[in-house]
Structure 1
Amino acid sequence: MGPRRWPDPKQSRDGEQGPLTTLCSIQPCKGVTSMMTLFRAAPVGSSPRRMIAFAVGLVLALMAGRALAAGSDEAPAPVLSPIEEVQAVIESQLIAFQNRDGAGAFFHAAPGIKGAFGDADTFMSMVERGYNVIYSNSGWTFVEGQVQGEQAAQMLVVEDEEGRELKVIYFLRIYDGRWQITGVQPMA
Structure 2
Amino acid sequence: MLAATREQLIEAGYQATTIAAVARRAGVVTTSIYRRWPNKRALVEDAVFSALDTANYPPVSGDLRADLLAWTRLFLVASAHPAARSAIPGLLSDYHDDQESYRRILERGEQPTQEALRDLLAEAAAHGQADPDCDAGAVFELLRGATLIRALTHGTEDADVFCRQIADALLAVATTAAGSAR
In our comparison, the structure showing a higher alpha carbon Rg is 1
The structure whose RCO (Cα within 8 Å, separation 6+) is larger is: 2
Higher relative strand content: 1
Indicate the structure with greater helix content: 2
Q: TM-score range by the shorter chain?
A: under 0.3
TM-score normalised per structure 2: 0.23
